[in-house]
Amino acid sequence: MDNPILESFRKVSESSMQMQQEMLKHWTERWAGSTSQPQTASSDGSQNVQKRWLALGVELLNKHRASLDSTYAAGIELIEESFGAAGARSPEEYRRMTEELWRKLFDTYRSQAEAQFEAFKDWSTRSTEAVQDVRT
């Protein structure tokens, strides 16, 4: 029973990571292209944008690390609880414990995805503001 759960979680995590990488690639290519073209902004303004992007990137990576840390902690807890399911006294108790584990697994995934989406949305908004500040 544990193998299908872990396999499903692995597939969902890989899919999520691939989607995030594609979104980040799309957004960084878009913004990198707009700041690398000659504009009316001064070189000081461009350096300012680069510094702000660096700060935003580091902040985003720190948020991502925190999200992964909490996901790993929840995963370890779920693995420990899954071993407890083997001690179920009846099929009904086993079913209840399995449903609870699945619920926790999906709640963990959902909260991680929401946190990453919010961090990316914040980064995107602040990146746009940084570019707009240079252009004005």
**Domains contained in the chain, number:** 1
Structural domain that includes position 50: 46-134
Q: Give pLDDT, residue 2.
A: 61
The pTM (predicted TM-score) of the whole model is 0.54
The model's pLDDT over 74-95, given as tens digits with 9 standing for 90+, comes to 888 888 888 887 788 898 988 8
- In the structure encoding, which two tokens stand for residue 108, read together? 């963990």
Within a domain: residue 4? no
Within a domain: residue 59? yes
Cα 92 from Cα 100, distance rounded (Å): 12
Q: Give pLDDT, residue 81.
A: 85
Q: Give pLDDT, residue 41.
A: 47
Within a domain: residue 61? yes
Instruction: Give, for 25, the enclosing helix (H) or strand (E).
Output: helix 2-36
The model's pLDDT over 31-49, given as tens digits with 9 standing for 90+, comes to 555 544 454 445 666 777 7
- C-alpha distance from residue 118 to each of 20, 52, 75, 114 (Å): 12, 19, 21, 6
Within a domain: residue 33? no
Within a domain: residue 127? yes
Within a domain: residue 104? yes
